[in-house]
């Protein structure tokens, strides 16, 4: 097995990323389509971070920074490659990005029922913020 390569996604990666999420990520979002991910990469070239090993996509994280808050989405590792440090490497890259941009605190979107993810996020030093609940409204376009 070769070394892990962690890099920012490009427009050429989008179809591969979307296919990867179908097997490696739990749940979907209204913006988990080609148009949504294409806008993300065009708007913020460093936000979608990929991990590759042996020429294969093995992990992703979205590290979005709006100038005020640091948001983590879509931390996903290939099911056959979990517990090998890939998620940790992706989070380290995301956190380094946030620090470079002036961010002071990262927050993560984690599904309530995804207990495996809860353990991974806690191991990485994150804790649930029970005082807040996410409220959402789909926007008509």
The pLDDT tens digits for 66-108 are: 999 999 999 999 999 998 999 999 999 999 999 999 999 999 9
Distance CA 92, CA 37 (A): 22
Domains by residue range for the chain, with CATH: 5-123 (3.40.630.30)
Mean pLDDT value across residues 99-125: 91
pLDDT above 70 coverage of the chain, percent: 96
* For residue 110, pLDDT beyond 90: no
């Amino acid at each position: 097995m070769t070394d892990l390569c962690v890099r920012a996604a490009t427009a050429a990666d989008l179809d591969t990323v979307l296919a990867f999420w179908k097997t490696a990520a739990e749940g979907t979002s209204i913006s988990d389509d080609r148009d949504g991910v294409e806008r993300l990469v065009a708007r913020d070239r460093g936000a979608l971070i990929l991990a590759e090993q042996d020429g294969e996509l093995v992990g992703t994280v979205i590290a979005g920074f709006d100038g005020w808050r640091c948001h983590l989405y879509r931390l996903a590792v290939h099911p056959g490659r979990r517990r090998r440090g890939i998620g940790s490497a992706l989070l380290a890259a995301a956190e380094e990005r946030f620090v470079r941009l002036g961010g002071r605190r990262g927050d993560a979107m984690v599904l309530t029922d995804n207990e495996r993810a809860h353990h991974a996020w806690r191991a990485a030093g994150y804790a649930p913020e029970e005082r807040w609940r996410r409220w959402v409204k789909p926007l008509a376009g």
